[in-house]
Structure 1
Amino acid sequence: MKNLIYISLLYVILSACASRQPARAYSWEEDLHQRLLTDFCLSESQVKDYIRKYIPDVTDEQMRRWEESKALECMLLDGEKRYFRNAGPNLFRIDSACYTIKVAKEGIVPTESEKVNQTHLPLVIEAVKKTGRTLVEPKRMRVTYTLTVDTNAVPAGEIVRCWLPYPRTDQARQQGVKLLHTSEADYQLSPASHPHSTLYMEKKAVMGEPTTFSETIEYVSYAEWHPLTPEEILPYDTTGTLYQTYTAERETHIRFSPRIRRLAANLTEGETNPLLKAQRIFRWVNSHFPWASAREYSTLENIPEYVLDNRHGDCGQVSLLFITLCRCSGIPAHFQSGFMMHPNGWNLHDWAEVYFEGVGWVPVDQSFGVPSFARTPEERMFFCGGIDSWRMIVNNDYSMPLIPEKKFPRSETVDFQRGEVEWEGGNLYFPQWSYRMQIEYVND
């Protein structure tokens, strides 16, 4: 009897130990495959159902033509043609004929950020001209950010490790950052100078309950605008560290391929002034690549090349194309990202900064581009040397290690905005958790 009890206990112990181990050694190839299956999750019939809202008699021939032009994104996975989760809506953003059909039916509906900026940008321009300061129109925001891991996504008793986005404290246009509350008493803030600004916490998973992490923060965000002229831009010190660092290639997405080199040379041909070069690149990207919902960056080998191949991009994708073309043209540039915080229109968002000798770093929001509502030359080029007040800056670069370092590859291997979560058994990918942001606009 005793032997039977001992054997039973041994079996329970061994089973418990086995359940704590990953089923197999980690493989990026398998991980990537699952990420692609998550993004490319629609059948042809599902995509056709969406398209029929605007084109009731859509044909197979039209489908093939849109696929060949890359306006309708799909790929072969496990022997099956699968469509990107936003392939239908993207078609009516990317293909000009489809765009016209949708506009004829629904009209052009401005985004919430466009509604805000239509009145906000003139105020920024006027304030800069009146005060002579480049930081104006401060907005104080109190933010509660919550990340919730699904119930039983992690075995009970296991430690869940979580990194939340945190406002940078080393940026002039983001001031007075205060941490008001955290869900866990113990937390770790990344150093102010680290490229990804994070708040790290740990918590044990409880059976039958979601695992929730939250932070409440307050900060003041300023608009920044530089009324730049070519004459004020000085020659670069090409031997300096700043210049050499921010005009260099950068793994994995800032690569000077032969196509990038030819394109940069063509766009800046005959021009030597860095400001005018940057403006040429900004206008060209704006006019050639409509915004479209993006597949996960971790599934792309090179983002600027993807934009050129597919003739569309979201905020981070067109920003990385702009940065790469600037660097290849001898203009220092780097990636910056976090959130757009416009009332009723907050979202993840990416932009850039470029460096002009004699002026310093200035913001460039390539995806906001040339606003359709712009009435003056200053408003049309506002986002090539300016940015609105409604931001949260989290990142000053991309694809850098987190602090403390993650043990498994990040869900978002390029950007860091939504947060990251893992446990000893592996990374927790986006379908296993959710996030939300509550914003209070505080009047001083």
Structure 2
Amino acid sequence: MISDLKYLKVNLPEDILKLKCAGYFEETIKFINLRLNKQIPFAMRKRLELEKKIIRTIKGEYPYTFSQALKKMKDNIKDFTEEELITLQEDSQADWILIDGKVRFNDSFFGSLIKTRADLEARLLNKSGDSDDRGEFLNDNINDIKENKKASYLIHLKSTVKVKDESARIGEIIKVHLPIPIECQQSNIKVIRTVPEATFIAPVDYPSRTAYFEVKLQKDQEFSVEYSYETHLKYNDIDFKQVSNEQPNFHTGEFEPHIVFTPYIKELAKEIIGNETNPLLMARKIYDYITQNVNYSYMRAYSTIINIPEYAALNLKGDCGVQALLFITLCRYVGIPAKWQSGLAVTPFHIGPHDWAQFYVAPFGWLFADPSFGGGALRSKNKEKWNFYFSNLDPFRMVANSEFQHNFNPPKKYWRHDPYDNQVGEMEYEDREIRREEFKSQYELIELKKL
């Protein structure tokens, strides 16, 4: 299944593309099935089979009609007007598509606007009153790591998933993959307990590591894994003048279908880099471009986006993973080794999925880049934090994935909700996948201790 993803680079036939863009999804599937019943090239067959899966996912990602979206904004934002929503739509700040020829807004459009538009947040009718404790926590850590030149923490977590009652098929075999820590800047990793007992736990250095369960589903059954690990990071106080003349060329290639050097990516890279030849300064130029120009935005499922880095480059918006992939792709195109890391961002105030990048410059070795955290810092006019997230990383992460688009061990049989990453887990029955909307996940921080 993972190997088939490369066929996303194949363009859709014009008639099918027309129907998809207008949101006539039933007709699109009909036209796809007509093509699949004919003698067509293997690559086109694979592309059309993938498109059927994409359409099934994307249909559920945009539930709000224009009037429903307007009502949600008016119910929550003081004196909000229809003209404002039209402007947000035209500026591509409120994510929308056409379904049956009519505008529909993404299910996370409201949360995305509140997160990224301080003017709208200030007009909220019901404010939570919560202070930015997480932001202050990270600010204090940045000061601490810079002062002590390192950071070491013990983190103890529990992750749980459960099939929703309406999708639970009691007594049938269910297969569950829950992400767990890998060996990287993390060490002393311990899987303390799994409930029920895990069928298999992938090796500690596996690039997309999971605890795997295969059991008959019981009523109200939860699947959980409790683990602890240590994170050890040194502060990278980099000097652009110390960059070596000789640089490696590993992790500089394309990786279809997303890390691809398209004509637009090539032109954008040239525009960003200009005549610069120092790889550390080149990476910084790419980081600065993304953090200054690509607006943070909640995203629909990654499985519905044909080319994620180009999406970010064309639309100038995207969440943490979209921004990280654009950084990786641009770095690789100009010859800077770059790769993926992802898992969870973990603080006492919030636990949630997060993605970022690594890049390599000799003699410093692997460095970190977190464009979304860096961009958020820049929007808050915190230049110290903005600079920190180029080459450094806070220690409050759980890294479960060191490679993008990697198979599980054992592999998942059916389509993954996110075939590129794994942060919340994946589930399937013996005859079909369990879609993301059919199960719920939660995280519990048991201990976070400075070492």
Q: TM-score, normalised by structure 1?
A: 0.83
Report the Cα distance in structure 1 between the residues aligned to 2:418 and 2:132, rounded to whole angstroms.
26
1:421 aligns with 2:427: yes
TM superposition shift of 1:256? 1.1
Percent identity reads 26
Report the Cα distance in structure 2 between the residues aligned to 1:93 and 1:287, rounded to whole angstroms.
17
Question: 1:38-437 maps to which residues of 2 (within 5 A)?
Answer: 38-52=60-74, 53-54=76-77, 56=79, 58-59=81-82, 61-91=83-113, 99-103=118-122, 111-128=132-149, 136-151=150-165, 153-169=167-183, 171=184, 173-206=185-218, 209-237=219-247, 243=249, 245-369=250-374, 371-372=377-378, 379-437=385-443
TM superposition shift of 1:192? 3.1
In structure 2, relative to structure 1, the CA distance for the partners of 1:159 and 1:268 (3 Å cut) is same
Report the Cα distance in structure 2 between the residues aligned to 1:68 and 1:229, rounded to whole angstroms.
43
TM superposition shift of 1:250? 1.2
Report the Cα distance in structure 1 between the residues aligned to 2:166 and 2:443, rounded to whole angstroms.
23
Judge conservation of contact 1:143–1:438 (CA < 8 Å) in 2. Answer: yes
Report the Cα distance in structure 2 between the residues aligned to 1:81 and 1:44, rounded to whole angstroms.
6
Judge conservation of contact 1:234–1:357 (CA < 8 Å) in 2. Answer: yes
TM superposition shift of 1:91? 3.8
Unaligned runs of 5+ in 1: 1-23, 129-135
Deviates more, 1:381-390 or 1:61-70: 61-70
Judge conservation of contact 1:144–1:217 (CA < 8 Å) in 2. Answer: yes
Judge conservation of contact 1:118–1:374 (CA < 8 Å) in 2. Answer: no
Judge conservation of contact 2:113–2:120 (CA < 8 Å) in 1. Answer: no
SS in 2 for 1:341: strand
Report the Cα distance in structure 2 between the residues aligned to 1:185 and 1:89, rounded to whole angstroms.
37
Summarize deviations over 1:394-443 as a string: whole Å, max 9, x none. 11111111111111111111111101100112100111111111112254
Report the Cα distance in structure 1 between the residues aligned to 2:227 and 2:81, rounded to whole angstroms.
49
Coordinate RMSD, CA, aligned = 2.6
Summarize deviations over 1:277-323 as a string: whole Å, max 9, x none. 11111111111122221111111001112122322111101111111
Summarize deviations over 1:234-255 as a string: whole Å, max 9, x none. 13445xxxx2x41111112111
TM superposition shift of 1:150? 2.0
In structure 2, relative to structure 1, the CA distance for the partners of 1:376 and 1:43 (3 Å cut) is closer
Report the Cα distance in structure 1 between the residues aligned to 2:359 and 2:193, rounded to whole angstroms.
35
Report the Cα distance in structure 2 between the residues aligned to 1:93 and 1:375, rounded to whole angstroms.
17
Judge conservation of contact 1:297–1:303 (CA < 8 Å) in 2. Answer: yes
Task: Letter of the 2:105 partner, please give it.
Answer: Y
Unaligned runs of 5+ in 2: 1-32, 37-47
In structure 2, relative to structure 1, the CA distance for the partners of 1:73 and 1:442 (3 Å cut) is closer
In structure 2, relative to structure 1, the CA distance for the partners of 1:80 and 1:364 (3 Å cut) is same
SS in 1 for 2:255: coil
Q: TM-score, normalised by structure 2?
A: 0.82
In structure 2, relative to structure 1, the CA distance for the partners of 1:46 and 1:223 (3 Å cut) is farther
Judge conservation of contact 1:355–1:361 (CA < 8 Å) in 2. Answer: yes
In structure 2, relative to structure 1, the CA distance for the partners of 1:249 and 1:27 (3 Å cut) is closer
TM superposition shift of 1:104? 6.6
